[in-house]
Structure 1
Amino acid sequence: MAKRKRAIPQYGTVVLNGIEYYRTRVEDSDGNRVALYAKTPEKLYDKELEALEQIDSTTFRRRSPTVIKPLGDMYMEEVTADDIRLALIPLSNKSESLHNTVNMLLKCIFYSAERSQLLEYNPCEGISAKGGKPTQKKDSLTDQQVEVLLETVKGLPPYLFTMIGLYAGLRREEALALQWDCVFLDAPTPYISVRRAWRSEHNRPVISTTLKTKAARRDIPIPKCLVNCLREAKAASKSEYVIADSEGQPLSYSQFKRVWQYIVVRSTKERTYYKYVNGQSIKYTVQPSLGGHQKNNPNIVYSLDFDVTPHLLRHTYITNLLYAGVDPKTVQYLAGHENSKTTMDIYARVKYNKPEQLFDVVNSAFHQAVPS
C-alpha cells in the first residue's frame, strides 16, 4: 500500500551558509517574532508545533486570572460570560484601546485554559470587542455534515478519533488515553469505560488515571456503527491503545496536530501563507473552492465547507442525545459533566430556540387557564 503524504503547511525557504533551510516564524509569549529552521518541511512542522505548545503553556502561567478583579476570587470553571462583562464595565468609560487590550488578555487566559483541557466551556466565546457584535457559539454538526465529514476522513488517520467523538462523546484527552482493556465490544450491551486521561508535557504524552472531574469516570454504551469501527481497529491494532502511533505508543501533542491536519487541509477555509522571497516575507491568501483539489497534492479534495474542531464532535454527540429525547440528567452522566449547568445550557439552545417549536408546549401548559 502506498504511503500517504503528510499534510504539511507550505513553508518558505532561505539559504544559510550555502545550505537551503525551510523557515517559519512564531510569536513567543512576549510578543517577539522567533524564526524556526529545519532541513525538511516535516521536521520544521514538528518544531513549530512543539514551540507553539510551549508558548501556550508559558502564556497561561504568566497571565494568571487571579490578578484581574473582580474575577480574582473565583475559580476559572465558575466564571461565566456575564461575570466577564461585569468585569469589563469599569472600562466602558475608558479608551477603546484599553478596553480591547483587557478583553484580549482575558480571552488569552481562558483560551489557554481551554487548550490545556482545564475548562470545558470558554466563557469568552460570546464576548466581543468594544462596540462589536457578540460572536455566536458554534452549532453542532448537522446529519448531512456528519455524513460528509465521515466520508472525507474514511481511511485517513483521524477517522477513528472522529467516530469516537461523534458516537461516544469522549473529550480529546479521554479518547487519546483510551486503551483496549476499557473497550467492551462483546458485552451484551457494548460500552466504553472512561478511566484514563491524556496530557502533553514538552510534547510527550502522559497517561494518568486522574480524570478531569469525578463525573468524568463513566461507562458509555456505544451504538453499532462505533462497535463495528472499533472491532475493525482492534483486529488491526498491535497496541494497547485504541489510538496509537506507529510504535504503539499514545500520540504526542504534535502527532495529534498532524492527525487533525488531515481534516484541516480538506476544508474550504481561507488560508494565509507567508513566503520568503529574496529575504522578504510576502503574505498571500488562498480561498479553496468546494470540490477543488490542492495544487501540490491533487489527492486532497476540498470537501468540507464547514468548520470542524475536536470539541465540536463531542458537542454534536451531546446535542444529538438531547434531540433524540434523552433526559438532560442522563445526558449529563454520558457526557461526564460535573456541573449540570453545562448540560442545561446546551439543552436550552436545542429545545427552546424557535417559537414555532414552542407553540404546542405553551398551549399545553396553559390549556386549563383558557376561559370557557
Structure 2
Amino acid sequence: MDLIIRELGSRPADSVKPKEIDDWLSGHSEWSPATKNRYKTVLSKAYQLGLGGDRVSRNPVRSVERRNEGDGRIRYLRPEEEVRLKVAIARRYPGHMPALVFALHTGLRKSEQFGLSWGDVDMNRKVIIVPHPKNNRSREITMNETCFAVIENLNKSRPDDDRVFRSDRYKKRPIADIKKAFENALKEAKIEDFTWHCLRHTFITRLVQAGVDLRTVQYLAGHQNP
C-alpha cells in the first residue's frame, strides 16, 4: 500500500481514471502478471472502503482488466476446499496435519519448512527464523496462535533429532517428501490442479485479501521484489 500511496497518492481519488491505473501497472515491467493483479486487488479494496465511507463516488479499478497469469496463475485453497482437505488428511495421514496447518499459516517454501530445525524456533518470542531462504536473506516470521499451537505440540513430543517436521510413519526420519501422501489426500478431497506450493499461494493471497500492505506481504513471503 505504501508504494500505491507514494506513486498515486498525490491525486484526488475521484480524478484517477481506469486507463491511468492500467498504464501505472503496465509501467512496472519488473512485476509479474500475478503481482500486478495483487496491486490491482489492494487498490480496488481501498476504493471499496472509500465508497463505503462516502469518500469517493466510484471505483475505477473495476474497469481495469486483470492480467493474464497464464501457466503462472495463482491457485489457492478456497475455504470449502480447506475443510475437505483437512478431513482427508486427518483420516489418512494424521501425522501430516501439523505440516499442513503450519504451511497455511506461514507461507514458507516447502524447502524452508521441511528444512527447519529446532534451533530456528524461538518459543519465547513465538518466532520462526528462516535461515537460508531462496534469496540468501534470513527473515523472522511471527507465529500466530494456530501456528504456535502446532509448534508447541510438536515440541512436546520431539525426538532427539533436531528436525521440526518428521515422518508420520517413521518417527526417527525427517520428512523428505510428502508429495504422494498429499496427492492422495487431494484426490480424496476432490481438489484438482493443486500442489503443496499452492499452500504458499494461499497464505499470500489471504494476506492480500485481508488488506495487508504489499511491503509486509513481500517480507513475509521472502520476496526480494513484491
TM-score (norm 2): 0.61
- Hey, what does 2:205 align to over in structure 1? 319
Structure 1 residue ranges (4+ consecutive) displaced by more than 4 angstroms after TM superposition: 78-81
- Hey, what does 1:176 align to over in structure 2? 114
Distance in 1, Cα, partners of 2:130 & 2:183: 28
Structure with the bigger percentage of helix: 2
Q: How far 1:227 moved relative to its partner?
A: 1.0
Q: How far 1:322 moved relative to its partner?
A: 0.8
For residues 199-252 of structure 1, give each alpha carbon's deviation from its aligned partner in whole angstroms, at most 9, with x where no partner exists: xxxxxxxxxxxx42134x110112111111111112111021111343644333
- Hey, what does 2:149 align to over in structure 1? 228
1:266 paired with 2:188, answer no
| Letter of the 1:328 counterpart | L
Distance in 2, Cα, partners of 1:265 & 1:168: 23
2:89 alignment partner, one of 145, 148, 153: 153
CA, structure 1 residues 184+148, in 2 after alignment: closer, same or farther (shift >3 Å)? farther
- Hey, what does 1:214 align to over in structure 2? 136
Conserved 8 A contact 2:182-2:196: no
Counting aligned pairs with the same residue, the percent is 27
- Quick one: higher RCO (CA 8 Å, sep 6+), 1 or 2? 2
- Hey, what does 2:76 align to over in structure 1? 140
Conserved 8 A contact 2:85-2:186: no
Q: How far 1:171 moved relative to its partner?
A: 0.3
**Unaligned stretches of 5+ residues in structure 2:** 1-29, 34-68
Distance in 1, Cα, partners of 2:173 & 2:74: 33
Q: How far 1:140 moved relative to its partner?
A: 1.3
Conserved 8 A contact 1:243-1:250: yes
For residues 99-137 of structure 1, give each alpha carbon's deviation from its aligned partner in whole angstroms, at most 9, with x where no partner exists: xxxxxxxxxxxxxxxxxxxxxxxxxx82xxxxxxxx572
- Hey, what does 1:193 align to over in structure 2? 129
SS of 2:153's partner is: helix
| Letter of the 2:190 counterpart | L
- Hey, what does 1:244 align to over in structure 2? 166
**Unaligned stretches of 5+ residues in structure 1:** 1-77, 82-124, 127-134, 197-210, 269-301, 341-372
CA, structure 1 residues 338+237, in 2 after alignment: closer, same or farther (shift >3 Å)? same
CA, structure 1 residues 223+151, in 2 after alignment: closer, same or farther (shift >3 Å)? farther
Considering only aligned residues, what root-mean-square deviation do their CA atoms show, in Å?
A: 2.5
Conserved 8 A contact 1:241-1:248: no
For residues 65-123 of structure 1, give each alpha carbon's deviation from its aligned partner in whole angstroms, at most 9, with x where no partner exists: xxxxxxxxxxxxx8979xxxxxxxxxxxxxxxxxxxxxxxxxxxxxxxxxxxxxxxxxx
CA, structure 1 residues 181+339, in 2 after alignment: closer, same or farther (shift >3 Å)? same
- Hey, what does 1:309 align to over in structure 2? 195
Q: How far 1:330 moved relative to its partner?
A: 0.6
